[in-house]
Structure 1
């Protein structure tokens, strides 16, 4: 009876050990192919790149090693979680008494009537209690005084006529 000899080894025990070693290396290689695919799915959003990484791992051992070198450092779930934490932190900052002047972006507090940097008016004071009022409020929430919005004369921009007349006076009739 002839035995299939691997690498020309005629000893039965040694031949079995070599066959088991080869089987072990093939199983490890297939496990690395699966590992590369599973890891790429957790780290890469583009399906084309996942396929390329998996195909590269079919080169025994070398493909997986190259993938391990060039793979992204973070999992997609970790990136999403970090972005959510940043959004939550930004929302917490918005709820605090941290505001910026709309004119100069200087940090002002919620109850400032004027910006200390550019001295522009931020809010109107209540006529009764002098607390700062939001321009959209119709009533002072502190003393319940109705807010009267004084609408001064509106400034109108002058339009140039089609003939190029830029005179400031009324038209003169001839």
Structure 2
């Protein structure tokens, strides 16, 4: 019976052990390529970068180690979950009537006219009832008074009379 020698080894037991070791290294190599692909899909949003990570992992063992060093530290699901938690916290603060100053990010209430931290003007006061007004409002919702400069004045339409339909007469200039 002829036994094929691997690396010049003629012993059948040792030859089998070397073949199993090579098979084990090939399985580990393929598993590392798949691991890099699966991990990159969970951590990276750009398909081009995922492809680059997989191509880098084709370098035996070194590519996966380099990918593990430069990969993003958190999963995309964790990033999205954190963003949702931040939006939920902002919505809860909004429902409580607490807001952040757009200039200094200090905590202000909905009815503040000025920020107590940076002293910048946040809203205008109604001239009639002195309550804070949102810049988008056309009238004060508390006292129903018009906001000067914001409230559009209603247009008055001029009715056409019989004299408007006639053609204008020529006015002669003096001295002609």
The residue that corresponds to 1:9 in the other structure is 9
Change (3 A) 1:104 1:95: same
Q: Distance in 1 between matches of 2:101 and 2:11?
A: 88
- Give runs of ≥4 in structure 1 deviating > 3 Å: 99-112, 114-127, 132-140, 146-152
The residue that corresponds to 1:43 in the other structure is 43
The residue that corresponds to 1:171 in the other structure is none
Q: How does 1:50-89 map to 2 (within 5 A)?
A: 50-89=50-89
Change (3 A) 1:150 1:11: closer
Instruction: Report which stretch shifted further, 86-95 or 33-42.
Output: 86-95
Task: Give CA deviations for 1:69-92 in whole Å, capped at 9, x if unaligned.
Answer: 111111111111111111111222
Q: Distance in 2 between matches of 1:3 and 1:70?
A: 46
Q: Secondary structure at the match of 2:58?
A: coil
The residue that corresponds to 2:23 in the other structure is 23
Provide structure 2 residue ranges, at least 5 long, that are not aligned to the other structure: 152-176
Change (3 A) 1:3 1:22: same
- TM-score when normalising by structure 2: 0.64
Q: Distance in 1 between matches of 2:104 and 2:82?
A: 31
Q: Secondary structure at the match of 1:72?
A: coil
CA contact (8 A) 2:29 2:61 kept: yes
CA contact (8 A) 2:124 2:132 kept: no
Q: Distance in 1 between matches of 2:124 and 2:82?
A: 35
- TM-score when normalising by structure 1: 0.65
Change (3 A) 1:123 1:20: same
Q: Distance in 2 between matches of 1:51 and 1:33?
A: 11
Provide structure 1 residue ranges, at least 5 long, that are not aligned to the other structure: 141-145, 155-174
Q: Distance in 1 between matches of 2:121 and 2:58?
A: 68
Give the RMSD, CA atoms, in angstroms: 3.5
Q: How does 1:95-106 map to 2 (within 5 A)?
A: 95-99=95-99
Q: Distance in 2 between matches of 1:61 and 1:118?
A: 58
Matched residue count: 144
